[in-house]
Chain A
Amino acid sequence: MTDVRDIDGGPRVSVVLLAEEPDASTAAALRSALGQSYRNLEVLVAGAGAHELARHAGGGDPPVRPMPGEGSRAAAVDRAARAAAGQYVAYLDGRSAWHRGHVRTLVDALEASYDCEAAYSDVYRTLYRPTAGGGREVLGKVVHCRRDFDRFFLLHRDYIPLPSLLHRRGVLDRTGPLAEGTGRRLAWDLCRRLACFTDLLHVPAVTAETYVPDHDADPGDGLDGEAIRRVLAAEPPRPWPKLPALSVLLAPEGDGDELGTRAERLCRRLRVPCRLYLAAPRADAVGAAGRLVPVSVRPSWPWDARIDKAVRACDGDCVAILPPRGRTTAAQLTAAYHALLYHALPDEAVLPAPPRRGAWGVVVRRRQLLRARNAWPALPIRRALEADGLRMRLPRAEELPFAFDRALAAARAQEAEGNFRQAAQRYDALAREHGHDALLAEAAARSLFREGRCDDRALERCRRVNADRPTVAALLLEARLLKRNQRTEDALRLLACAKQLLDWQPERDRPSC
């Protein structure tokens, strides 16, 4: 058995470095791993360039092991992570580098946490222009991530970059292999899987950088259809202790020729992990694909009987029954699922939309649905649920998911319309309600700066951000405020700090601002 604790008592950390090409960028990423202040590491170099890169690593402290092999990015990362001897696993690739304290920061956070098996930090998204010699001319560093963990948000948005992530090795035994063909959405696939088993601890400190060339049209959270489809289609093995699984049941009246299309559309748009059960006479013709599961029923069967068969076929903890006709949007379904998980009382089910004539749908706990059907088999499903004492209601406004994001979008819209003072008030109110202090203090300061007559309040917020965790944007903003108030020397000092951060190479010690 490998001893995974070092002489200081720190657990061993396995660093998976994806080296698709053994180029200068990947070598720099490796240097940032080897230069960590945390020393109980092993580096596993995965991908086509593994041998060459590992050969150049030399030394042996920390040890660098090549993990070559056939297959995709996902397969290479998966293979290396599962071969890890460490108690924790962290990731790097040729488009990223760590600051010297990255691993220590995340290990300390996880060691101090009782229930989280994964953690992530903030990263700089460093936009650069490639130079002739293979170097990078830095154009800007914008803090990416900077957001506390929100499971539903993570299911909808790829917001945790791979280099910012560290997790316990053991959790991989439950998450299953990564999906193929996810390209640069690999991190999203991994994080979605992790989120089914654990909360992810957000460490609000910038500890890494990801590099984005200026000609790259996709800044990282844009949409790239096929990779996203594959991420959404994948799910880890069940059961999931942190996310009751959802089964969505669709049963058309009649043959339901159009249902395949309707199901596909829903599959594309629904971002919570789920399986869609298509109960129709010709469902087999649509076939099982991705998360679509066909359920054969007879043409003569009424809608309730079709749903009953789908309920028996499905294995979700929660069941969403869609109405036989009409449109239920992915957003309505997500809202009802969210309300059921986090807000509904034990005797409540949630309607995705107001019932219309003959078109009724519901999101309900499966065990309650089964109990009602067993107790009242002769009644239609809706009546059976009511007879069993279940109350059905629409989600309330305060139960909708993404409350923070909706409020933030509203504040940003106000800012975009030039209502700077109101926008700043909203940012402040959001910070009081939701946290995210650095993000919102900086946004409020920016709004107040643009308002032009509240420099004192803007300065106070900037100082709060920069005193704790200075960023290039916040330093620049504070400097502009000072300059506008004729405090040129103070502005100069902050601008010099911002310049240092921009020029800073991650493998060196962080400049002291």
Chain B
Amino acid sequence: MTAGGFAGSVLYVDLTHGEIRKEPLDLALAEKFIGGFGLTVKLAFDTIKPGTDALSPDNPIVLGVGPLVGTSLPSTSRVYVVTKLPTSETIGWCGGGGVNFGYLLKNAGYDHVVIEGRADRPVYLKIIDDEVEICEAGFLWGHGVEQTCEALWKEFGRPTGVISIGQAGENLVLFSMAFIDRLSTLGRGGFGAVMGSKNLKGIVVKGSRGIKVADRKRYESLSQAFLQTIRDYPYLKEWQDLGLVKVFPMMVPKETYKRMKKRRVACVSCPIGCKDVVEIPDGDFQGLLKCTSSVINLYTPVTYGFKDYRESIKCMATLDEFGLDMFEFFGVMGLAKALVDHGLISKDRLDAEIIIDSLQSMETWARKICYREGLGHTLADGFKGILMEFGEQAKTYAPALVKGMHPYAGPGAAFSWDLFGTMELGQALDPRGPHVGSGGSPTYFAKRPLEIFPRHLKRMGAPKEAIERVLPGLESPDQEGELKVGRLLRYSHRWFSTLGCLGICARAAINRFYNASLCAEFYQAVTGIKTDLPELRKRVDRVWTLLRMANVREGLDRKAEALPEKWFEVPGFKDYLTEKPLNRQDSERMIEDYYEEWGWDRKTGVPTAHVLKELGLTKD
């Protein structure tokens, strides 16, 4: 007997010994950690041995899908992985829109999969209802992401959920990613290499069991009203037509997008759809069809200097096929170029010129990195590898690094936004390091008026007294309003964790319709587990604090979360409200505010005994 929403089982796979076992989902544990992201964190905490090397067989991959995934609630598709990541060397999470993978895993009967060990030859994991098998993947090894997906879809038909890596993951490139159904990414931090280190080329899933909800009457009344709200949204059609181009027209001109648009694609149950299929309409690459998480991603090379968007798309097609993280790739290439220019890398080590805005050069280097050829072998180990080989002097030319990675937002990054909001700070305070969803809030956009923040905080479920701490003086006519970015980030992290635990998409286009109270109601209606807002808050706090503890156990300390010096140099970050240059002292205060707002030690960031006890995270 299982609660509604949950599939009811956890699948354990030992690749070393070829053993597979299925265990019933512990419902008491599921209730305590909600499910999805939350229970994935808990299973990872229990499975990962402290100090494990990220690329060793001992590092488990824990995958999870939330209790709302597979229902008809809008945009409930998310798939999460928690493991030790090789770049940040933290216990980090990767999450992506589940396309078809998430609901198919649930329909096969599993909420979570724990993969341990290392196969002695290339394999893929096949999950078709009760038929679970570790299969030979020799015929897939050496294939790119799309090529792998197509081969598996040919074998198993559609719909089949596929998580796969490309050649970058196979060759343990520290900034390799895995892709879900070739569209979404489990990326940043080197998750592709973790799969590659296990000789695990992919995971294939099909299922036919169905997902039931516990309280159908309540589910129907809640979901009908909710769906109507979305239907009535005046910008719905625009979102559906343009996806992320709606909010980034400065990156991708609408007319260009319309010329190349072939189809908009949605993850399961999503009424908007933010994924794209585009075709290059003319030029040397006319007819190249590209499926992508968003057309915005295809313009990343443009932000690094590419002049022709068609070459940019071709470049991204190559990076995606190899399974490379685009931000880290361009960051690493930028540093390599600087080291060549300054003589730290001698020209005789180069068998190809590094030209950042050249398609031919970047494709050549992507290949060298993927196959670890020549200097590409060093570059494949990312900033860590470069700094290790070329020493202290190389640091001078390195961009700002956060947890060993290239931030995606900030001075010198792909998105050179200079106002310091929650997402910018979140790049440093999320255990996994910088990623595109590291704690967004209205500060995602510049110059948002303070008056809109209380509404946002209420939607995220922040209590009244917390709103006063985040926005001191807002209600006082005699006091100038302030925004405590660190404190706000605490509630952003809780909000995104809430969505992740349930399985709801984090993208702003859809999460704007949800609020924390509604999440509690949906969770209760689907699972039958009694849950009100305060209880939901507490469970999510338990999840994020446990993730913190997993990293404290790994040795994460305040020093590891210090902001990079380059963020304070000119041109550096500016305060979100006053636009004065951000200084170290202010940023330290923000970090301390963040820790304190979580109830962690203000100086060290370690959760206090009191908080651990309150959240039920102590052993006794």
User: Are A and B interaction partners?
Assistant: no
Residues of chain B touching chain A, judged by Cβ–Cβ distance below 8 Å, are none
